[in-house]
Amino acid sequence: MKHVVTGDRNAYDRCIFHLVDHTGRALLILGLGVYPNTGVIDAYATLRVGDDLHAVRASDALPDDRTRLSVGPLRITVDEPLRRFTLVCDPDPADPDSLSYEIVWSADFPAVWEPHHVQYRGDRLMLEGRRFVQAGSCTGVVRIGGEEIRLAPGEWTGTRDRSWGVRPIPGEEGGRAGEELRPEGFHWLWIPARFDDRFVMVVAQEDADGHRTLNEALLVRNDRHDVQLGWPQTDISYRSGTRHPTRATVHLTDRDRKPLELGVEILASSPLAVGAGYPPAADWQHGTWQGRGWTDRRTYDLSDPAAHPMAAYGVVDHAARFTFDGRTGYGIFEHGTFGRHDPSGFTGYDSTAP
C-alpha cells in the first residue's frame, strides 16, 4: 500500500517466514516490513545453529515501488501469489562465510485469517492489525561458516505470517503512558503447526488476570472448510527459574465437543528481541531510521542468558515437534509472558517458574 488511511506514524505492513529443521538443529527466521508514514523499509534474517544466532539486518528509505520487496542483501520475490516465494540473502563480499541463502517457500495449505487484533493502552489505540497465516514446505540451501545446510522436503517445514495496520515502533514509550499505564501482565501464544494432511492454527492473548482478549483455534485442510477447535487452554511446563517453555499441551475440542490435544515438544528457540529487531531489542528495532543503505551483520552467543537480559521480556519463537490426533508435525510455538499472569502462577515481572 503506497497510501494508507491513517497518518499514524506506527502504520506498518510486515511479513515473517519460519523455516524449521525437523531435527531441531537449525531455525531460520526472516521477514520484511514497510512503514509508509516514516518512510522506512527494513528486513532481517536470523539463523540459530547450536548456541550461535547469526543475524543479518538491513534498512533503507522506502522506495516508490512498493512491489519491490528488497533491502540490502535481503529480498523476497512473490513467484505466485499465496503459493510460492523465493527468499534470498546475498553473502557478504567481505566475509564469504557469513549467512546467505536461496530458498523456495511453497504453500501446502490455504492462507487462514487470524482474528482482528486490537489493543489499547488506556484510551490510546496502540495496535490494530489484520493478519493471515499459512503453512508449507521449503527447499534450497543455507550457507554459514563454510557449511551448506540443504533444505529438503520432508525434513523442513515452513510457516509464514503477513500482517498490516498499526503497531508500535520505537518512540511511543515514556510520558504518562510509561508511568501510569504500564500493563500488569501480558501472555501470548501463536502456534502454527503443520502436519502432512492438515494444519492447526492456535492464537491466544491474555491479560494479567487471564482475561482472553484474542482467541482462535482452527483445523485447516485442503478438501473442506476450516473447522473451529473450541476455546484453547494450554498447560505449559517451564524450565525451573525461567519462563522458558520445554513442553506444552494445548487442550482443544472438535465440533462434537470431543477433547483433542495438541502436544508440543520444544526443539530450538530464537528470541525475537535478539537479532530480529522486535522489542525490547537494545541494538536495533523495526521501523527506526538508520539512514540510507544501512546493513548490519553480527553473531550472538546465546549460551549465557545473562548476556541478553531483555530477551526474557520479548516474544520467543520456538521450533517445535507437535502431536495431534495420532499424527506428528512441525511448526512454531511462539510464546511470550511478561509480568503477572494468574493462570500461570506468575506474580510479577520478576516471577519465574519454581
Whether pTM exceeds 0.85: yes
Predicted local confidence at residue 122, as pLDDT: 83
With beta carbons less than 8 A apart as the criterion, state whether 139 and 103 touch: yes
**Strand, helix or coil for residue 310:** helix
Q: CB under 8 Å to 140, separation ≥6 — which residues?
A: 87, 101, 102, 103, 104, 150, 151
Is 339 inside any structural domain?
A: yes
The phi and psi torsions of 176 (rounded to 5 degrees) equal -60, -40
User: Distance of CA 217 to CAs 124, 262, 323, Å?
Assistant: 28, 11, 15
Q: How many structural domains compose the chain?
A: 1
Residue pair 296/57 in contact by the 8 Å Cβ criterion: yes
Nearest to 158 by CA among 22, 256, 38, 267: 22
Backbone angles phi, psi at 214, to 5 degrees: -150, 135
Task: For the chain, give percent helix, strand, coil, nearest 5.
Answer: 5, 55, 40
Question: Amino acid letter at 326?
Answer: G
Does some domain include residue 324? yes
Residue-wise pLDDT for 173-210, tens only, equals 666 666 777 789 999 999 999 999 999 999 999 999 99
Residue 292 lies in a domain: yes
What is the signed CA dihedral for 76, 220, 211, 342, rounded to 10 degrees?
-90
Task: Spell out the residues 6+ positions from residue 218 whose beta carbon is closer than 8 angstroms to its own.
Answer: 112, 200, 201, 202, 226, 227, 228, 229
Domain-located, residue 354: no
Residue 145's Cβ-side half-sphere holds a number of Cα atoms within 13 Å equal to: 11
Residues of the chain below pLDDT 70 = 172-178
Q: How far is CA 249 from the centre of its chain?
A: 20
Nearest CA among 244, 241, 237 for reference residue 270 = 244
Is residue 350 assigned to a domain?
no
Per residue in 201-244, pLDDT (tens digit) is 999 999 999 999 999 999 999 887 899 999 999 999 999 999 99
In a domain, 1, yes or no: no
The CATH number given to whatever domain includes residue 60 is 2.40.370.10
Residue (of 265, 255, 262, 256) closest to 326 by Cα position: 262
* Mean pLDDT, the chain, integer: 94
Residues 298-326: tens digit of each pLDDT: 999 999 888 998 898 999 999 999 999 99
67: containing domain: 11-303+314-344
CA distance 164 to 162: 7
| Domain membership flag for residue 240 | yes
Alpha-carbon distance of 239 to 354, in angstroms, equals: 8
Q: Which of 84, 52, 97, 55 has the alpha carbon at shortest distance from 72?
A: 55
Rounded Cα distance between 254 and 27, Å, is 31
Residue 136: count of CB within 10 angstroms of its CB: 20
Question: Does residue 191 sit within a domain?
Answer: yes
Positive or negative CA dihedral for 140, 278, 109, 71? negative
Which 3 state secondary structure label does DSSP give 306? helix
